[in-house]
Structure 1
Amino acid sequence: MWHLSIDIETYSSVDIKKAGLYKYVQSPDFEILLFAYSWDGGPVEIVDLKQGESLPMEVIHALYDPNVIKHAYNAAFEWYCINSVMESPIEQWRCTQIHGLYCGYPAGLGKVGEALGLPQDKKKMGVGTSLIRTFCVPIKKPAKSNGYRTRTLPHHEPEKWELFKQYCVGDVVAEKEILRRLSVFPVPEQEWQLWQLDQRINARGIACDLELVEGALTVDQQVTRELMAEAVELSGLDNPKSVQQLKKWLTEEIGEEVEDLRKDTVSGLIETVEEGRAKRVLEIRRELSKTSVKKYQSMQTVACEDGRVRGLLQFYGANRTGRWAGRLVQVHNLTKNKMDLELLKYARQLVREQRIDMLKLIFGNVPDTLSQLIRTAFVASPGKVLNVADFNAIEARVIAWLAGEQWRLDVFASHGKIYEASASQMFGVPIESIGKDSDLRQKGKVSELALGYQGAAGALISMGALDMGLTEGELPEIVTRWRNANRRIVDLWYSFERAAIEVMESGQPVGVKGIIFARESHYDNRLDFFTIQLPSGRKLYYVEPTLAQNDFGKQALHYMGPDQKTGKWTKISTYGGKLVENVVQAIARDCLAVSLIKAEQAGFETVLHVHDEIGIESDRPEDLEKVLELMAQPIDWAPGLPLKAAGFTTEFYMKD
């Protein structure tokens, strides 16, 4: 098998960061400018396509030769760009960015080079951003000084163009070195198959109701203008959106200090402030915060000529577990719709027709209505439906299976009412006595959501325990009751923690419940990992592991990774409950992966998947039952894991 490492530089008038790869490439003025390549780790060659050079025939043949594996950093870009001019099957490609993400490193050629400590001559050149801005995008402001031209060509800046060619070569050098170092820790073949499927799903895209999108943007603009005018009239402020101005005005108006204008603060003030100007201004602020039109704007920007939105999913986007992440429209954090189906349909019709008065009359809060309609902008193509199928309580099932918590497994094997069953176990009452709206069910629900990964009172609060009417004084008892009812899960936390410390102290692998913890190093490449092998065979990688005291003075596993808030590459501490969370979410992700592959093999066209939910476009509503059966099938590497899925058929995407 031969290996060809590739990097290309391209031009398009479409902004790739805002519109995404697919619309970028589909632009009529898209073109490939430079093509750098290396055979089997050898010297890098550069072909200046923009100045009339041609690819060697051996490279052209290699692009569709199954005996040549094509490598690139963020290979989805190279693959799709090249496929705009010739066919190069995705099955023949491998992505070095995905390899880095699999091994626990950050995304970005420069960032992973820094994290790996690449020598200066093998790092990505720092001037790349400036050169890309010069040659790869249109000139924003044509002026007399640049001859009023709309783009810079090689002959306009010959010295910079030569530097640009060096930059392209340098990217291949960096990609090759990253690949060389990581190759001793290979990505499993099933993960490459899944990545290839991910490219097909992203390239397929999902249809978007652009008439609804346009209507939502128009309605939002007018309603926002009206609400802002009302707020100005009531408050006399120049800019009621200004936090500083509004805080000062509210403090004077209601006679007490307003420290911030966070969502919960505003809601609390609305409950306590008397009727009058201040209350109405607060209501306006809450209304305006109900929806951000950014997602509608993103849909409009990303939608291709055929009305489909592509590139919404990032494979291995969640560094720790390998779950997918959202891109462009961010489908992983869409607002839930609370209306019933008929109201949703009517609201969509009114927005498409831009009937603002009727929206106000029937729904009252127009911004909230627009917010609920965001996910319904994703639709089935004409003549087709979306079959949406969702794993039922997948994380709760996985943790019960992994820990061997039998009463929970019995619940999932029968009625599946885990909130009621949890409350029954915690408080020692018959499950039949716990109604849907009972206080005990609420306690069971918030416990299930908050406590499975070693959370305590703080986790209950963050999951809304106080909003449910519980008091802080009740929370420690709820934590104790849940842990007493789930002793095997509690044991799992501490077993994982002890295993991690033992591996770090002894250097020997440790197995817990079929999960293998190990220390894996390669000294020539200066790579060192703490690894967790999952039942699927996939591994989780923790870079440069060490043992050190944590914030609580306990010995704990630390590793290098991206900080969740800042993204900065830094040292992170972990503990038993967090390791259990990583493993449970990773196994749940692998269950979804199995279902995605089975769906493709069965001939279904997946157009979207979000968290543990799959959306399939079909001209046969009856396909839904087949998809649900497929998702509930036992998985070879997870014997005894009780899987179940529920779903619905719809013309537009929604939360059922």
Structure 2
Amino acid sequence: MKQISIDIETYSSTNLNQTGVYRYADSDDFELLLFGYATDLGPVKVVDLTQGEKIPQPIVKALDDPTIIKSAFNAQFERVCLSRFVGHRLKPAGWHCSRVWSATLGLPLSLSDVGTVLGLPRQKITAGKELVRYFCTPCKPTKSNQNRTRNFPYHAPDKWQQFKQYNQRDVEVEMEITQKLERFPVSQNEWENYWMDQDINDRGIRIDQQLVNNAIKCQENFHDQYLQVSQKLTGLANPNSPLQLKDWLNQRGMNIDSLSKASVAQLLQTTTGKVHQVLSLRQLLSKSSVKKYQAMQKAMCRDGRVHGLLQFYGANRTGRWAGRLVQVQNLPRNSMPDLEEARELVKQGNTTALSMLYDSVPDVLSQLIRTAFIPSQGHHFYVADFSAVEARVIAWLSGEEWRQKAFANNEDIYCASASQMFGVPVVKHGVNGELRQKGKIAELALGYGGSIGALKAMGATNLGLTEEELHSLVQMWRNASPHIVQFWWDIDKAAKECIKSHLPQATHGIKFIYRSGCMFLRLRSGRKLCYSKPKIGINRFGSESITFMGINAVKKWDRIETYGAKLVENIVQATSRDLLAEAMRRLEDAGNPVVMHIHDEAVIDAPANYSLEKMVKIMTEVPRWADGLILNAAGFVSDFYKKD
């Protein structure tokens, strides 16, 4: 026995979508119902545990054997649930996830969608959703079902047989996906990255329960206060209703189309009196910071930790991680100088002091979200992140020497860019310091082919820049970075030539390979990005363009257009991801447990005698494949997570 394909069906009263699999399996009433499996791609067997059937002992033993591959679609679910079933943690090594495998090829992240895209002869049974709802989740007690809160197999024997067939079919579909993708295997290195990711998610991160509970109470208290004041000012039953509030504002001569956060912020700059007060309250009432605290509450397990916050290969074009549950990749920033003091007031539930000291309590609660993550008892957080890693990677890949020198000399890249653009020295808070902001906007907006629209999206017009200035800013940035601009065109040319000729191409150390209807873009790290069924077409400007099949902005499998600068963005972000993955692997190998990572930042939970300098040194080791890249990182030590 070399491989086991697995699919399970389970019951838990905990809502899986809201809590994630760790809290779901941690529930007191969690139960394994069906265990479908096949060994070495053979016939599928379904073990019905509700009828007293037992999983064969060799299969149970194999779950702990790293030399036997355990394959499942979204294998984290099977592994975590089976860990609860066997009574101990099943280590990730040896587990393969066919969803991750699909993601490496740019395929969808659901079993049914992958089956459809691949045109498998056997598809996931669509009626399964209703069967899962019937047997795997609590039911509403009614007179017709004798007020029961759960459906058992004996309540619907015919449905139960269909459910067993559904379980069998999922194993069959998973095996067919594995066989269909075997021409494009996931590298051993990438599986090891996946196992590291699973170790990090298993480890989880501790939550400050007192802070979370009191933050939710505090938000509810102030929300009620703001609502009552707004009701008195407007006379509306529900001033939080956009429809009612728009009507009230229109009656006061204001033609309001939208009450979005951006629209309200803009209106506050021009309104006065009662209207200004009401809009200010609207802004406070629309703060959604409490949702992340509630997500922490729901996902927290009995060990006081939240697990499963990060999804491996969640961004399937580049392989970057995606946030789940609390969405740690999208946490509000904190800029309060008295962060620790505000944190203590919330922990104490001191709403009187909070209302006296701060204009906006919802904003305080928003800034404190990060601080709800705390280290283990007697430990500290050691937090380090790469400095301007994408800017460093694009400078290295394109061969933009002045940028490489600026990084080597540890210069401020925004000042260096502004100096290059305007031809004068620029020093932060010094000579020509006012130009730094223009350099910063240009750096953030223009590296991947962006133009005036990208500058506007980055907020350039809010700084008082005119349309004419924006155009000249684009030209100055491109003139200052000719090697990056050439990099876009070289990548564009190589990709088009590869698609047209089906012959390998290479530029800037990036290789393009056409195989089996896909274009593979091989990074310097050795990992490949996949573009399925690529074609050369004509875009809306009448120029040649690249298209490929992938998941579009509305999560549908469709043809997507791309171009050289966009491919450069994929290359740079994917390379930055590989640098972080390797850095975390080195940290883990050195005995430093990573509990969370966000973008280009890693968080270690370690005793007081740990060295931050050691962590930074490990992170900034340059891999052999990235020779010539200038890496830098900085960090801090804290008793709670924050943005330094």
Pairwise same-fold verdict (TM > 0.5): yes
Confirm or deny: 8 A CA contact 1:605 1:617 kept in the other structure: yes
Equivalent-residue separation in structure 2 for 1:608 and 1:436 (angstroms): 40
Tell me how far 1:482 sits from its aligned partner.
Answer: 0.2
Q: Which residue of 2 aligns with 1:550?
A: 539
2:99 and 2:137 map into 1 onto residues whose CA distance is 24
Q: What's the CA shift string for 1:382-407, capped at 9, x where partnerless?
A: 21110010100000000000000000
1:6 equivalent to 2:1? Answer no
Moved more, 301-310 or 466-475: 466-475
Match of 1:618 among 606, 619, 632: 606
Q: Report the alpha carbon displacement of residue 197 of structure 1 after superposing the two structures with TM.
A: 0.8
Question: What residue number does 1:257 align with?
Answer: 255
SS of match in other structure, 1:402: helix
Match for 2:375: what amino acid? A
Query: CA offsets, 1:23-77, max 9 Å, x none?
Result: 1111121121111111111111111111111122332232233442111111111
Paired AA for residue 33 in structure 1: L
Amino acid in the other structure paired with 2:242: V
Match of 1:435 among 418, 430, 441: 430
The change in CA–CA distance for 1:352 and 1:332 in structure 2 (over 3 A counts) is same
Query: Does 2:441 match 1:453?
Result: no
Query: Could you list the per-position Cα deviations for residues 73-125 of structure 1 after superposition, in whole angstroms to 9, with x for gaps in the alignment?
Result: 11111111112233543211111110000111010101111111222xx1111
CA contact (8 A) 2:236 2:244 kept: yes
Q: Pick closer, same or farther for the CA change 1:516–1:206 going to 2, 3 Å.
A: same
Question: In the TM superposition, what are the counterparts of 1:423-572 in structure 2 within 5 Å?
Answer: 423-432=418-427, 435=430, 438-521=433-516, 528-564=517-553, 566-572=554-560
Aligned pair partner of 1:285 in 282, 285, 291:
282
State the distance in 1 between where 2:214 and 2:428 align: 48
Distance apart, 1:364 and its partner CA: 1.5
- Residue number in structure 1 paired with 2:219: 220
Alignment of 1:315-394 (within 5 A): 315-340=312-337, 343-394=338-389
Instruction: State the secondary structure of the residue aligned to 1:389.
Output: strand
The change in CA–CA distance for 1:433 and 1:81 in structure 2 (over 3 A counts) is closer
1:114 paired residue number: 116
Q: Measure the CA separation in 1 of the matches of 2:118 and 2:58.
A: 33
Shift of 1:220: 0.6
Matched letter for residue 105 of structure 1: L
Cα deviation per residue 1:305-359 (whole Å; 9 max; x = unaligned)?
Answer: 121011100000001100000000000110000112xx11111111112211211
Superposed displacement of residue 288, structure 1 = 2.2
Once residues 309 and 559 of structure 1 are traced to their aligned partners in structure 2, the CA distance between those partners, rounded to angstroms, is 38
* Structure 1 partner of 2:637: 649
- 1:525 paired residue number: none
Q: Please, what TM-score do these two structures have when normalized by structure 2?
A: 0.98
In the alignment, the residues of structure 1 paired with residue 96 and residue 118 of structure 2 have an alpha-carbon distance, to the nearest angstrom, of 20
Identity %: 49
Preserved contact between residue 426 and residue 432 of structure 2 (Cα < 8 Å): no
CA distance 1:425–1:286, shift in 2 (3 Å)? same
In the other structure, the counterpart of 2:99 is 97
Tell me the SS of whatever aligns to 1:101: helix
How far the C-alpha of 1:621 sits from its partner, in A, is 5.2
Q: Which whole-Å CA distance do the structure 1 matches of 2:91 and 2:595 have between them?
A: 20
What is the aligned residue count?
642
Q: Secondary structure at the match of 1:90?
A: coil
Q: Which portions of structure 1, spanning 4 or more consecutive aligned residues, are displaced by more than 6 angstroms?
A: none
- Superposed, 1:233-244 pairs within 5 Å as 233-244=232-243
> How far apart, CA to CA, are the structure 2 residues paired with 1:464 and 1:437?
21
1:549-575 CA deviation, whole Å, 9 max, x = no partner?
A: 1222221111111112x1111111001
Corresponding residue for residue 406 of structure 1: 401
Superposition deviation, residue 292 in structure 1: 3.0
**Alignment RMSD:** 1.4
1: CA distance, partners of 2:69 / 2:54: 21
Preserved CA contact (<8 Å) 1:560 1:570: yes
1:607 match = 595
Q: For 2:141, what is the secondary structure of its paired residue?
A: coil
Is this contact kept in 2: 1:100–1:107, CA < 8 A?
yes
Aligned twin of 1:46: 46
Q: Which of 404, 410, 415 in structure 2 is aligned with 1:420?
A: 415
Q: How does 1:122-271 map to 2 (within 5 A)?
A: 122-139=122-139, 141-253=140-252, 255-271=253-269
- Cα distance in 2 between the residues matched to 1:441 and 1:35: 61
- The 1:206/1:67 distance shift into structure 2, 3 A limit, reads closer
The aligned amino acid for 2:20 is G
Deviations 1:418-452 (A, max 9, x none): 00000000000023487399331010000000000
SS in 2 for 1:260: coil
> Unaligned regions of 5+ residues in structure 1, if any?
522-527
Partner of 1:524: none
Flag structure 2 segments of 5+ consecutive residues without an equivalent. Answer: none
**CA distance in 1 between partners of 2:431 and 2:156 (Å):** 70
SS at match of 1:14: coil
Q: Post-superposition shift, 1:624? A: 1.4
User: Which is further off, 128-137 or 63-72?
Assistant: 63-72
Alpha-carbon shift at residue 203 of structure 1 (Å): 0.9
Cα deviation digits, residues 236-287 of structure 1 (max 9, x gap):
222212222222222332x24222122222122111112x110101111122
The Cα of 1:368 is off from its aligned counterpart by 0.6
Q: Is the 8 A contact 2:66 2:95 kept in 1?
A: no
Q: 1:272 aligns to what SS in structure 2?
A: coil
**Alpha-carbon distance between aligned partners in 1 of 2:262 and 2:48, rounded to the nearest angstrom:** 57
1:472 is displaced (CA, Å) by 2.2
Q: Deviations over 1:2-32 (max 9, x none)?
A: 1111111111111111111111111121121
Q: For 2:47 and 2:431, how far apart are their aligned partners in 1?
A: 67
Deviation at 1:378, TM superposition (A): 0.6
Q: Structure 1 residues 79-88 or 594-603, which shifts more?
A: 79-88
Q: Is the CA contact (8 Å cut-off) linking 1:387 and 1:621 kept in structure 2?
A: no
CA contact (8 A) 1:389 1:646 kept: yes
Q: Does the aligned pair in 1 maintain the 2:426–2:433 contact within 8 Å?
A: no
